Structures are given as structure tokens and as C-alpha cells.
Amino acid sequence: MSESLRETLRGRLHALGFDVVRFASAAAAGDPGLRDWLAAGHHADMDWLARTAELRLDPQQVLPGARTVIVLGVNYWPGAAIGGEPFARYALHSDYHDTIKPGLVAAGRVLEELGGLGAMDYRYYVDAGPVQERGWAAAAGVGFRGKNGNLISREFGNWMLLAAILVRAQVPADAPLAAQDSGRTGLHCGKCRRCLDACPTAAFPAPGLVDARRCISYHTIENRGFVPRELRAAFGARVFGCDECLAVCPWNRFAQAGRSALLARRHDLAALGLLELLRLTPERYRELFKGTAMKRTKLTGLLRNACIAAGNVWQSGAAGSAQERAEVSAELLRLVRHESPIVRGHAVWAVWRVLGAAAGAAALTATRADEVDPAVLDEYDAGAGPVPESRAG
């Protein structure tokens, strides 16, 4: 494909709603650090990452004959700084996997039209396949790898969702941001370490490396079990994901409001309060979260996360009216009898936090006598003792 035809292709794909359209050679090296990251156990129990590691490192195993990777970016910055949200910003939309996919389908038709390709000559993914979108994005000059592990754009800051199309056609590659060390972590970070210092749970063992075992996003989204007790206090009011290491990045000063052509904002989700989350029923859960990314954590996970948030927000002695505290306490005591031991255990932890030792012991006596799950019993026995430090060092 000529450079002239490449630019026609770029324009057509941009018109579909993609804010960034860049091209990388499929021969470019993958991320050699992936194997070390997996060997260190930083992926926690996300075993699919280990199972697909070799595919992620070699696009030929994903699409034999692939010659080009088209990297597509969708900016999701809402246009205003919104702080204190219980949800990661990307989650305040209909599920982006679903809304971006039609754009990828249309992009495939454009490739067939302009490049003379067949349907088997390309394969697309949006954050859900065995490809390293961030590595290809850095190679194509979309941005650079930040110390927070994210792909940082000089146009859109940290607020970009990535998709990739592997193609059996040679498209002239775009230049990376730097001819040398384009994949180096912190290429344009300088001495800045705001993201590393801001992480509430000290989840960065080194710049660019995220240890999922300490990451709030992992625990509130992917973890299906108990959240380590020593980390819970650092979650604050977060219920789904965490934007802290993204939000503090100075490169966000260049962020622009997204076109939202491939996104559907859900304004109702941003208005949800903790009490409403604690009161979720299966029916209300389906009504609220159907078609959103938050369905991934399931009702049990959201209730667990809401219990942790309630225990932090209404911790004994913290701000809040007596009426609020009474309502929250009543919901937590109801959840102490929930069918899921995951919910029960975190509700017990939150009761200790909200009511304190004496009142908590009195309120939990009856349910303690009925409990049989060892992990939940451990939460009862932990009591309202001192909260361990959540940050390293």
C-alpha cells in the first residue's frame, strides 16, 4: 500500500469515530518484559494472561501472515475533571467493547474496499484479545509507556481506549515518538513520579510495573474472592476500578473532550450512591448495569466492594450524619446474612469499621453464632482492631 493510500485509509477510519489511527509493522518486537512480569506473579490469578503470553508476543500466532498492526484510539475524557468517583471513568459508559466493535466491523469493510482484502485477511480486538495494544501503540507513535503502566498520549493524556487490527497487508509504518528506545518506560516522564507516589496501595514495584495483587482495579474488578484485609482501608470510596495513577499525570493537561462517536455516556451511573449500591437486588443490578463494563464484577463483587467503601466512608468517628450512619449500618447488618460468604465477610468487616468495637460486637453477636464459613468467621474474629498500613515502606 502506498503512503497516499495509507492516508486515505487513515482518514476513512478517523471518520468512523476513532480519534487516533496509526500503523506499526507486525515485525516489531513485542514486550520482552511480559515474561518477567508473569514469572514474578504480578498477574495475580489472571491465568489467561499466562496462557496467551506467547500469542501476545508474536502476532504471527494470532494471524499468520500479518504484516501490519493498525492501532486505533478512542478518547474517553469527559471534558471536565471529576473527582471522588466510586467508578473508573471508562466505566461510566455503555461497555466500550460493545460500542467500539461496530467501528471495527466498519473498519474491516474499509480495508476490504481500499486494500482488496478478504474477511480472513484481518483480525480485530478491543482490549479483549491476545495482543499487546500498548506495545503496538508505542511502536506506532500513538504515545509512550508511562511509569503508571498506561499508554500516555501527548494529545489526550491518559484517557484513551485502544483497539488493534492485525492485517495481512503491508502498510507503511508510522514513526514512534522517539527513534531510539520507543518502548522504554517513562520515555517522556522525566523525573516525575506522581503516579508512583499517588497509588493508594503501593502497587508499583518499579516504574511501569503494576503488581495486580496490590492494585485496586484488579481487586474491585477481577478478584472473585476476599480482598486482603490490609489493603481495604486504602480503597476509600472506590467500587469499580481506580483512576488515581492516571488522574495525577501532568500530561493530562493536554486532554481534550472526546467526540464520543463510539461511546455512549451513562450519566445515571455517576449519580449512584453507596446506599443504593448496598441495597442492590439481582433485578436492580441487571437493570442498572446491563450493557456496561461493570457487569464484569457481578452482583457479588459490587456488593463486596460497596461494603468496603461503606466501611471506609463511614468509619467510626468519621464525618456523616447520625441518620446516614444508621441507614448504612442497617444495610450492612442485612448483608451480614447474605447468601454469599464473600459479601458476608466484607459486610462484617464494614460493621466493625462503622460501629466500632463495642457496638459492633453487640450487633454481630447473633450472626456470629450462626456463621460456619471459616473465612467469614475470621472477619468476625479480626474485630475492630488497628488497620494495618496499606502502603509499603
Q: What is the Cα–Cα distance from 198 to 31, expressed in whole angstroms? A: 26
Q: CB count, 10 Å around CB of 3?
A: 9
372-389 pLDDT, tens per residue?
Answer: 999 999 999 998 555 444
Phi, psi of 67 (to 5 degrees): -120, -25
* Spatial contact of 307 and 350, defined as CB atoms under 8 Å apart: yes
- pTM > 0.85: yes
225-279 pLDDT, tens per residue?
Answer: 999 999 999 999 999 999 999 999 999 998 888 888 899 999 889 889 999 999 9
Instruction: Please confirm, yes or no, whether 127 is among the known catalytic residues.
Output: yes
173-196 pLDDT, tens per residue?
Answer: 999 988 666 668 888 999 999 999
Q: Has residue 28 got a pLDDT over 80?
A: no
309-329 pLDDT, tens per residue?
Answer: 999 999 877 767 788 889 999
* Spatial contact of 135 and 168, defined as CB atoms under 8 Å apart: no
Structure confidence at residue 180 (pLDDT): 61
* Catalytic option among 45, 127, 174, 378: 127
Structure confidence at residue 99 (pLDDT): 96
Phi, psi of 124 (to 5 degrees): -120, 155
Q: What is the share, in percent, of the chain residues with pLDDT greater than 90?
A: 76
Average pLDDT (161-167) is 97
Average pLDDT (343-360) is 95
